[in-house]
Every structure is written in C-alpha cells, then in structure tokens.
Chain A
Amino acid sequence: MSEITVPVGELGAQTAARRRRIPVSLVIGLCFFVVFGVVVMAILRSWITPHDPMAQDPIRGLTEPSGAHWFGTDQLGRDVFSRTIAGARTALEGPLLIALGSMVFGNLLGLWAGYKGGKWDTVIMRWVDLMWAIPSLLIIIVVAGAVGGGYWLAVGLLVVLTIPFDTRVVRGATLEQVPRPYVEAAKALGVSDARIMVSHIWPNVAPVAVANTFLVFSGSLVILAGLSFLGLGPPAGTPDWGLMLSEGRQFLFVNPVGTLVPGAMIVLLATAMNLIGDWLYELLARRGATR
C-alpha cells in the first residue's frame, strides 16, 4: 500500500504558535505590574523607603506634600510615602495566608464533596450554604471584641470563614470531572480514592481553583483593611493602609493626600487582583481546562 503523506510541517508550527499565544491585554498587563510593584514594596521596604516609617517628628506634625515628603507627613510627623510602602507588607501577608489556607482546605473539602457525593455532599454543601449567608466581618468584630482582637486572630478566623467559597467552586468543578472515563478507568484499576482525587482529578480542577484564589485574596484584603480601619487589626502605629486611612480621617482638611493615598492603594491592589482572577477564569474557560 502506498503511503499518504500530507505536508503538515508548516501547519504544525502555526497551530502550535496559535495555541501558545495567551491573550494579554494592556489592562491585565497593568494589573500584573501593580501586583508586582506591591510585592516589591513589601519585600524591599527597608531599602526603598526614603525615611524611616516609624520615625516620629511631633514638632513638624501634619504637613502637606513637599519636596522632602512626597505625600506629606501625618500627625506625628511620620513620612506618609514611606509608611505607604511599608504598609504593603500587612496588605500582602494576611490575605496571602488566607487565600492559600482556604485554598488548601477548600480544595480538599470540595474534592471530597464532589467525588464522594451522597451524604458527604449534602452535609458539606449545607454547611457551605449556611456560611455563605454569614457576614464574616461582623463575626470577627464580635469575637475580637470578646477575646481581645489582634491581626492574627482575624486572619485565623477569616481562613475558616473563607473555606466555604473555595469548597463550592471546587465541588462544582469536581462534579464535572467525575463522570469522565478516566475516573472510571482509575477506579477499575483499583486506584485508591485519595489518589484519584489528588493525582487525577485535582490537576484538572486546579486552574479554576487558582483563579478563584485571586478573588479570595482580593476579598480578604478588603475585610482585613476594614478591620484595621475599625482599630481591631494591627496595633496603633503600625504602618497599615486601613489604619492609616482611619487615623487620617480627622486630618482630611489639612493633608488630604496623606489620608487618601493608602485608601487608593487598597482599591488599586484589590482591583488588580479581581481583574487578574476574572481574566484567568475567562482564559481557562476558553481553553477548555474546566471541561
């Protein structure tokens, strides 16, 4: 029999290139730049702050932006620009921990609920529905008030309170995977349940989970900043964007820039994370990774 040869050399290269190209618009590029900038600020803060964020100068007091102090000084004479840079740390630490923590537990619970189904699924989803309706901020305020507050208590509570969101998303994605032939094949081969969930199903579910984690990060950032704003977060004097916004409220008349800039940073970082999370979702849906 004669061989049928099809000259697919060039076609192959073109197709591969098209598959590799990821649509990155200008906006998304900007978002990544913002996130990168904040990470740099958090890590390199001692090197890039022009003044010591904690150095007080009570005699100077509240001043407007000037050549030496780009964002002015707060009521204790501290340089706002340096404090804004230093504040990047609390803005990243807590939300990152919450996002990762709830991702780990949420993924496990979601995989379990989706794969096992039946009683497990009902119980877990009932719990998720219950938690869905509870405003986490209020719970944290009440508990912080009774037990004594603090940044890390809030972070711990938020991890627990955010797990339901991840669980729901991962469970949905798992349910789409379970009827697939590869799962049935793995079961037939006698692969253990745990191994199927973690090694076989999860890699297909992971992209959606990661996209969701960005959104969780954004949400946690907002809640933690709110707690700092209310005075239930890091101790007074810590350079923290929420705290700076709260302390600066009374000085809106004198140094508005110093008060509004931390707020703008919160919005910027949260927006960037939200946009990246949404973009990842779209990207993965289009590439069929959720199917």
Chain B
Amino acid sequence: MSGSAVFWYVVRRLLAMVVLLVVVSFAVFSLLYVSPGSVIDVLLGTNTRTPQLVATLKHDYHLDEPFLTQYWIWVKDAVQFRFGNSIVSTLPVTDEITGRLPTSLFLGIYAYILTMLIGVGLGILAALRKWTAADRSIVAGSIVALSTPAFVSGVFLLYIFAVELPWFPVFGGGTWFTDRLWHLTLPAIALALVGSAYVLKHTRAAMIGVLDQDYVTFARARGLSGRRVLFTYALRNALIPVVTISGLILAFVITGAVLVEVTFSIPGIGQLLVQSATAKDLPMIQGTAIVVAITIMVSNLLADLAYLAVDPRIRLGGRPA
C-alpha cells in the first residue's frame, strides 16, 4: 500500500470507530433505563428521597425530556469528556478517571512488554530446542499458564513474593517511576502470563515452520552465523502470526487488568469499573465504559497498523499467506 492508501485506510478505520463508539455510547446510556427500579431510584443511590432532591435530579438529568433528547444532551457532554458526577462520591467522574488512567496505562504497557518478551523469547528457545526436555517443559508450562486466570496467578504471586519472601509490596500503585515499577511488577507478571502463553505457542509454531524453510538452510550453508540467521531473517517472518494475535493479547491484558487491579488493590481504571459496578454508580460506569471502549478500539487500530507495517505482502497489495 502506498502512503496515501495507508492514510485512507486509517481514515476509514477511524470513521468505523466513531460509528462503533456511537453504538456503544447508546448502549451505555440506555443502561440507566434498563436497570430495575425507576431512573430516579437509581440516581438517588443511597440518599433519602426528598421532593427537592427529586426535583433537582429531574432538572439536572433532563428526565422530563424525551429519551433521544436526553441521549443527545448526554452525548454532547460525553464528547467533551464530561460524564456528570458520581452518585457515590458526588465528585466529577472525569476527575476520577483521569486520576487513575496513568496507573492503568503504565500497568498495561508494562504487562504487554513482558508478554512479548517472555512469549517470544521462550517461543524461540522452544523452537530451537524442539522436542528436547527444555521444549517439552516450556510447552507444558505454557498450557498451565494458559489455564491460570490472572487473579489466581496474582494471588499466588502475592503469596510467594509479597508474603513469604517480602520482595515486593502487597498493594498500591506506587508514585514516581521506579516506585511504580516496583509496585506494578507482580501485577504485570500475573497479567502477562496468559497472553505470553498464547504468544509462545504461536511463536514456537511459526519459528519451527520458518527454520524448515529453504532460505534458512541456504543461509547456513553459505556460512552465516546462527545468530545472524536467527535474528535477521528467521525472526521477522516468525513474528507475523504474533502480530496478528496481538489484538487478542490486548483483550486479555485489558480483561486481566480489571482482575489484577482488584487483587493488588491498585487504584486504576479496572478497579474503578468494578467498584462502580458493585455500587451501581451509573454515571461512573458509563464514563469508565466509554474510556475502556476507546482504549480497546485505539489499540486494535494500532495492532492492525503494526500488521500492515510488518508484513510487506499486505502493504504491496498481495494476500497474506
């Protein structure tokens, strides 16, 4: 694909994203009406029902207007990232979200890097030592890691490395960079386990396929060192399937982040989502859901762009093998 073709591809994807976001925002907005009990009851939360409070709520949330007008008013604010005030804390939803976003992003990126490092690294190792004891144990380990949900591995890690051997802190998100790194290491590992198992599986399979190819044999026959053959030629081709599943990995990281943040009491978006869901804090749920949806869509777009960049066959208009 030429430069302009890539540009139009991005534009098309962004438009699709906007449409999808509208659908998601509509669904999220409708949650208020889907909940059992009247809208007023939900918005009151645990406050006592007084006529003044009811009147204020009716005015603030425009409850006397038709449904679509209410939706439109809500969307106008939502586009500027104003989601109203939390029912539980009466503080603006946006402040809460922006306060927590950096921690979650840090955790997510940390976990993603770990996933790739562990998955690709061990996958290559397993492929090079195919069918040996090392390979079998790595594959066996990856199947167990696949089946271990993030919260279970989180609690196990918490026990071994924070309770028994007090190397890491038990909770919290940390403040400055190195402190954050220290606090978020265990959660990031717990998050990375499931994703890295899938990456390992695919890397190993792709690597085994690539190492069998003629051009690798030829390169070796020409006397290129093993390392050069591996990193310059084999690795790039083996990584293509990994890039294709990076969208799936992302889904794991975001899903697992919710569980891991609760396990380690990290003040992030995931924990916020769970807390607001348990407390039925509707404005907070709506705001958090929109932010998470945007994150997922943007990351998927980045993953697809990475796929375009990595596989020249796609870029030049051919079909992927």
- B147, B152, B278, B292: the one contacting A145 at CB < 8 Å is B278
Give the complex CA separation of A108 and B49 in angstroms: 50
B258 at the binding interface (Cβ < 8 Å) = yes
Complex contact B273–A141 (CB within 8 A): yes
> Beyond A146-B31, A147-B35, A260-B159, is A135–B273 a contact (Cβ under 8 Å)?
no
Give the complex CA separation of A218 and B197 in angstroms: 15
Q: A155 to chain B: closest CB distance in Å?
A: 17
Q: B108 to chain A: closest CB distance in Å?
A: 13
Give the complex CA separation of A21 and B241 in angstroms: 35
Q: B161 to chain A: closest CB distance in Å?
A: 12
A39 at the binding interface (Cβ < 8 Å) = no
Residue in B closest to A145 when the chains form the complex, CB atoms: B277
Q: Tell me which residues from 243 to 291 in chain A have a Cβ below 8 Å from any Cβ of chain B.
A: 245-246, 249, 252-253, 256, 259-260, 263-264, 266-267, 270-271, 273-275, 278
Complex contact B155–A142 (CB within 8 A): no
B163 at the binding interface (Cβ < 8 Å) = yes
Q: Tell me which residues from 205 to 257 in chain A have a Cβ below 8 Å from any Cβ of chain B.
A: 218, 222, 225-226, 229-232, 242, 245-246, 249, 252-253, 256
A196 at the binding interface (Cβ < 8 Å) = no
> Beyond A252-B163, A271-B147, is A260–B156 a contact (Cβ under 8 Å)?
yes
- A141, A143, A274: the one contacting B258 at CB < 8 Å is A141
Complex contact A222–B254 (CB within 8 A): no
Q: Tell me which residues from 129 to 149 in chain A have a Cβ below 8 Å from any Cβ of chain B.
A: 133-138, 141-149
Give the complex CA separation of A259 and B152 in angstroms: 10
Complex contact A230–B274 (CB within 8 A): yes
Q: B237 to chain A: closest CB distance in Å?
A: 25
Complex contact A267–B277 (CB within 8 A): no
Complex contact A146–B282 (CB within 8 A): yes
> Beyond A142-B31, A267-B144, is A230–B152 a contact (Cβ under 8 Å)?
no
- A145, A230, A231, A273: the one contacting B276 at CB < 8 Å is A145
> Beyond A133-B300, A253-B163, A256-B159, is A141–B277 a contact (Cβ under 8 Å)?
yes
Residue in B closest to A143 when the chains form the complex, CB atoms: B31
Q: A219 to chain B: closest CB distance in Å?
A: 9
Complex contact A245–B155 (CB within 8 A): yes
B36 at the binding interface (Cβ < 8 Å) = yes
Complex contact A270–B147 (CB within 8 A): yes
Q: B268 to chain A: closest CB distance in Å?
A: 14
B158 at the binding interface (Cβ < 8 Å) = yes
Complex contact B278–A231 (CB within 8 A): yes
B151 at the binding interface (Cβ < 8 Å) = yes
Q: Tell me which residues from 103 to 158 in chain B have a Cβ below 8 Å from any Cβ of chain A.
A: 143-144, 146-152, 155-156, 158
- For B34, list chain A residues within 8 Å (CB): 146-147
Complex contact A133–B296 (CB within 8 A): yes
B289 at the binding interface (Cβ < 8 Å) = yes
- For B147, list chain A residues within 8 Å (CB): 218, 222, 267, 270-271, 273-274
Complex contact A226–B259 (CB within 8 A): yes
User: Using a Cβ–Cβ cut-off of 8 Å, how many residues does chain A contribute to the interface with B?
Assistant: 42
Q: A281 to chain B: closest CB distance in Å?
A: 13
Complex contact B146–A135 (CB within 8 A): no
Residue in B closest to A222 when the chains form the complex, CB atoms: B149
B184 at the binding interface (Cβ < 8 Å) = no
- For A270, list chain B residues within 8 Å (CB): 147-149
Give the complex CA separation of A270 and B262 in angstroms: 22
- For B277, list chain A residues within 8 Å (CB): 141-142, 144-146, 149, 232
B266 at the binding interface (Cβ < 8 Å) = no
Complex contact B155–A263 (CB within 8 A): yes
Contact with A along B228-253 (1 / 0, CB 8 A): 00000000000000000001000100
> Beyond A141-B273, A260-B155, A271-B144, is A226–B163 a contact (Cβ under 8 Å)?
no
Q: B251 to chain A: closest CB distance in Å?
A: 5
Complex contact A266–B149 (CB within 8 A): yes
B255 at the binding interface (Cβ < 8 Å) = yes
Give the complex CA separation of A252 and B157 in angstroms: 11
12 contacts between A and B (CB under 8 A): A137-B258, A137-B259, A138-B289, A142-B273, A147-B31, A148-B280, A218-B147, A222-B149, A246-B151, A263-B152, A271-B147, A275-B143
Instruction: Across the A-B interface, give the 6 residue pairs with the lowest CB-CB distance, nearest first.
Output: A145-B277, A270-B147, A146-B31, A271-B147, A263-B152, A135-B255
Binding site for B on A (CB under 8 A): 133-138, 141-149, 218, 222, 225-226, 229-232, 242, 245-246, 249, 252-253, 256, 259-260, 263-264, 266-267, 270-271, 273-275, 278
